[in-house]
Amino acid sequence: MTDKTRNDDPFCSREILSETLFYGTKSFYVLYDIKPVVPGHVLIIPKRHVMGITELTNVEFMELHGLLRMLIPKMLRLYKSDGSYNIVLQTGRYSGMSIRHMHIHLVPRNRRDRYQIRNNRLYVDLERNRKGMGRKFVDSEVKRLRKAFESLAQSHKSDLNSA
Ligand SMILES: [Zn+2]
């Protein structure tokens, strides 16, 4: 299912993708965002039709890591960033994901970019949802998550208990 090429999404349809494609590796495409928020806004897209990061194989994940280590400094140099950038990955219907095929936004930032004023927009929007999520809520969530992650965190258990 996840290996299937879909014609109903623009990232599986090579025709559309090739319009702004500028680099590729064995498993990933790198293309310019067709509606960039700042200059240098590019997308890293797995060639396989996957929805999210957890569907990548270990080999693909390592390839992605290598790609990012090459791509990020290069893009920041090209767009004269001082080292500032955003990585955005939205997954699933309620995340703001638009095209239902995994895509990582790499957004180089610099002090002149016009998006700067909206940097905290995400938090402004999210603050509206804060009601009912005070300290008591946080404490209960932490308790729940510690329990859920208990078996994975055996080596750190003493750290948690002494905290
Ligand atoms: Zn696809």
Q: Which residues surround ligand 1, an ion (CB under 5 A)?
A: 6, 9, 11-12, 49, 101
Q: At residue 163, does pLDDT exceed 50?
A: no
Do 119 and 137 sit in the same domain of this protein?
no
Residue 6 within a domain: no
CB atoms within 10 A of CB 30: 20
66: containing domain: 14-123
Do 87 and 142 sit in the same domain of this protein?
no
pTM of full prediction above 0.85: no
CA distance 152 to 73: 34
Asked which of 19-28, 104-113, 142-151 is least confident by mean pLDDT, the reply is 142-151
CATH number at residue 44: 3.30.428.10
Residues 40-83 pLDDT 10s: 899 999 999 999 999 999 999 999 999 999 999 989 988 888 89
Write the single-letter amino acid at 71.
L
Q: Are strands 104-109 and 42-46 parallel, antiparallel or unpaired?
A: antiparallel
Higher pLDDT, 116 or 47: 47
What domain count does the chain have? 2
Measure 162 CA to ligand 1 centroid, in angstroms: 47
Half-sphere exposure of 6 (CA within 13 A, CB side): 15
Q: At residue 9, does pLDDT exceed 60?
A: yes
Write the single-letter amino acid at 97.
M
Do 117 and 44 sit in the same domain of this protein?
yes
